[in-house]
Amino acid sequence: MPESQKSPLSAIHPLSREFFARDPRHVARQLLGKVLVRANSRSSAPLTARIVEVEAYLGEEDPAAHAAAGRTLRNSVLFGPPGYAYIYFIYGNHYCLNVSCEPEGKAGGVLFRALEPLSGIEQMAKARGIEVRSTGVNSSRVNSKKDWPKLTSGPGRLCEAFGITRARDNGCDLTKPTGSLWIGDDAYRARDILTTPRIGITKAADMPLRYLLGGNPYVSGRKIRTK
């Protein structure tokens, strides 16, 4: 059970544009262990969570990618410069967060599938509509740590926890710590990286483009399958 460390914001430094200007498969693998930061305006503290599960979506050659049918108004961020947020609305209910990859003009992206909450737990719980009950004298405790995965395990859930919407965040630059949403490196080293087929797609469902931290309890989906 990996006990991830919490870092102060000053110890998290943003990823470069070049980091994202590559094949989504490389970006996806190297995003594991990095930190997603939501710097809330006004008084509230920032939300931070470690990236523990992602999927790579390639360009027009990937039938499962939104870029497969070429550039449209919706997916234009995927064809733009790297390091920007591509957010789409799905099943009439949920938002999903991606970051654009590849140099400008070539499509590609990485879908964020699961995070491990580091700070701002109560605010995430509130955004997710989950009861936060204080236990005993200490006032700032979520019921128990085993409830945390419900906050950010799944692409729709993590967006809800972070307050990510298309209107607010689509097209935002994720390399700028002055922005309200960005990705940083706090020197945490990802271990035990696993690769599996992507989840929830019907086309090209066999390509192993899902990357996750093995054994991490915040990874989405069913438990370990013994087959």
3-class DSSP state for residue 67?
helix
Tell me if 36 contacts DNA by CB under 7 A: no
In whole angstroms, the minimum distance from the beta carbon of 77 to DNA comes to 10
For DNA, the closer CB: 12 or 120:
120
What are the CA-CA distances from residue 125 to residues 23, 85, 144, 148, 149 (Å)? 34, 23, 12, 8, 11
Tell me if 49 contacts DNA by CB under 7 A: no
For DNA, the closer CB: 12 or 158:
158
Tell me if 155 contacts DNA by CB under 7 A: yes
For DNA, the closer CB: 38 or 188:
38
Give the span between the Cα atoms of 175 and 179, in whole angstroms: 8
The total of other beta-carbon atoms located within 10 Å of residue 43's CB is 5
Tell me if 227 contacts DNA by CB under 7 A: no
The total of other beta-carbon atoms located within 10 Å of residue 72's CB is 11
Which residue from 105, 72, 98 is spatially nearest to 84, judged by alpha carbons?
Answer: 98
Strand partners, 109: 57, 100
Tell me if 156 contacts DNA by CB under 7 A: yes
Among 60, 201, 207, 217, binds DNA (CB under 7 A): 201
Structure token digits, residue 207: 């390509």
Tell me if 90 contacts DNA by CB under 7 A: yes
Tell me if 199 contacts DNA by CB under 7 A: yes
Return the DSSP state at 146.
G
Tell me if 216 contacts DNA by CB under 7 A: no
For DNA, the closer CB: 55 or 116:
55
Give the span between the Cα atoms of 10 and 32, in whole angstroms: 20
Among 20, 57, 148, 218, binds DNA (CB under 7 A): 57
Return the DSSP state at 5.
P
Tell me if 220 contacts DNA by CB under 7 A: yes
Among 73, 133, 146, 227, binds DNA (CB under 7 A): 73
Stretch that binds DNA, among 27-35, 37-45, 74-82, 178-186 (CB under 7 A): 74-82
Tell me if 180 contacts DNA by CB under 7 A: no
Give the span between the Cα atoms of 82 and 18, in whole angstroms: 8
What is the distance of C-alpha 203 from the center of its chain?
A: 22
User: Which amino acid, residue 81?
Assistant: P
> Applying CB under 7 A, which residues contact DNA?
55, 57, 64-67, 69, 72-75, 78, 86, 88-94, 96, 98, 109, 111, 128, 150, 154-158, 166, 198-203, 220, 222-223, 225
